[in-house]
Structure 1
Amino acid sequence: MKIKKRIFTYKPQPILHPCKALAVIFMFVVLLFSIALLLAWQGILFTSWQSNWQFLFLMSALLAISIFRDKSQRIKFPFWIQQHLIDPKLALDLKEHALRSSDAVIVDYREVREHWWQGKQQQLLLKLNELEEAKWFSVDLHQVFASTLFLNIHVQLNSALIGQQIWVHYLARTRTIVQLYAHDQLDDFHQMKNYFAMPYTGNIYFEQIPTRLTLDLPYLSEIHAVREEDQPGYLLKLKTSYGQSYRISSQARHFDKLELALSSAIDFIPYRNFKHQPTMQSALLTKRHPQRVTRLLLCIIAISVFIIAFLFKAWFWACVAVGCLYLLYRNIQHYRTSPFIEDPDVNVT
């Protein structure tokens, strides 16, 4: 994922000009309605457009709204349109990719509504390392953690956030947080208790900002247990599908919670043998790739549909097969690409 796509994915773009937004929606409704009338006139949709134009107009309006509907801000257009509807400073931040990064401490939190047509906006009062005074930063805590497929991470504004040390990426002019995570405290895994029920799918709720390792669990592809002479106990070496590595000591606090969070990915037979046989210096614990079933299923469907398309010489089924292959490619690329903004991506000019 390129830096531009990261920023646009993680950053909501609230509209400041609702009348202009409605005008854009109406223009798209008219465009879709015109196309529908043309298809109806040609007899592709209906035999007669005169008796169905009301239905076509309603469907055009619903389609236009559904295309541009956005969960976090109600409506969101492509940026070449959106830039004329949002805060000019935010538009400039987005154009220039004006990212900054810093460590910070959460001092306070609040929810504000700047305009009646917008939803409530979350804000964090942060004391940045390079700033003398704490300042308010806008954030959508659901949006900044919405980078993982098949996993929804939710962090609610609450008093447990106050005092937490985090690493934050934000846009310079508007002080809008694009991404944040807690400093990697690899000696304490108390937050992992929220991960037990569904380690790789579903909804997970945190009272505090999760660490980078916590966010990386769905991307883990290799797990090794090793013993080192200068280390008490043993180490778990975790590697993600995009190359990030972690070294976790078994002496870390709440290490048992990390083990439970990894339970669906670990083969516990070699893990048990490794624990009970001190002479074993290492063991591969990975049971299977977390996306193995999904990718295998997509491959089987694509091959089956290709066979059907070849036997019946149907272009429709061939297009369906190509769509399955595209989903497979997207899945592979998603897990090969880091979901995090890295320091080299930050524009310091």
Structure 2
Amino acid sequence: MDTTTSPTGEPAHVPVLLERVLALLGPALGERPDRAAVAVDATLGLGGHAEALLAAHPHLTLVGLDRDQDALARSRDRLAPYASRVHLVHAVYDRMPEVLDELGLPAVDGVLFDLGVSSMQLDVAGRGFAYAQDAPLDMRMDQSTGITAAEVVNGYAVPDLARVLREFGEERFALRIAQAIERERRAAPLHSTAQLAEIVRSAIPAATRRHGGHPAKRTFQALRIEVNGELDAVRNAIPAALDALAVGGRIVVLAYQSLEDRIVKRAIARLAVDSTPPDLPVPLPGAGPELRVLANGSGPSADEVGTNPRAASVRLRAAERIKAGA
């Protein structure tokens, strides 16, 4: 994510919690006698974390995944000096097992997830992710496939739309907002982010609008998650990434909202405890934890938020595989 601009006027990418990510993954990515270490950046974005990992580990092979073809193109340019050690793949991160199989990589030493919408997607107005900029209601991370936010807003029945806003945006006024959208779309379909943001603002009681930031932020989050199937992808991808870790390998996950963070927390916790049934007097052989927790939902420091305000909501979780999976 970014908060500054480069000398050319382009956004200058500031990777979130970069030093902590490097410190947590570093012990797993050093040179080894039998093979080069392999890391997966499952959410490549603009390549800031990937570039730093490649620079810090001269023998590292990196696999970068992203569903956004524009992001892949930009990262390909950025990572050109390391091209011989990089595999960039157009894929959602829940396809990681398939990608690793195609590359002939049975296990990896590090995995990084930087979940949610990227800075590039937020900053390019035409993508429709930001309620503060007027744009078409798109919100697709991969603009080559899938439904748009406009199709959700105009096509979902009121109960279904309210469910999306309530479950994915944790929006208290989900039904009121869905009903307000229904009234407006009867006259004409909704196509503008500014139009939607105003409908949401008007549907929320005035007293509530005075607190908690922009009144449309939860609605926009919910629509983005629905359009991109984000929670299903996270549910599938985190266990698959943990399974792919070699013993001594590490995973780091940056999550920016509670729904994703909860999925990550539970997936790690399941493998970080002894699986012996509680009624047995002694631990079963081989039932010990497969993971050691390294970071358990820590947030950013004040300095990190000062450098990159978009890091304010991040929660970092990390774990190391200490035993082969069953």
Could you say whether these structures have the same fold, taking a TM-score greater than 0.5 normalized by the shorter chain as the test? no
Q: Could you say which structure has the greater relative contact order, defined with CA pairs below 8 angstroms and 6 or more residues apart?
A: 2
Q: Which has the larger radius of gyration?
A: 1
Question: What's the TM-score, normalizing by structure 2?
Answer: 0.29
Higher helix share: 2
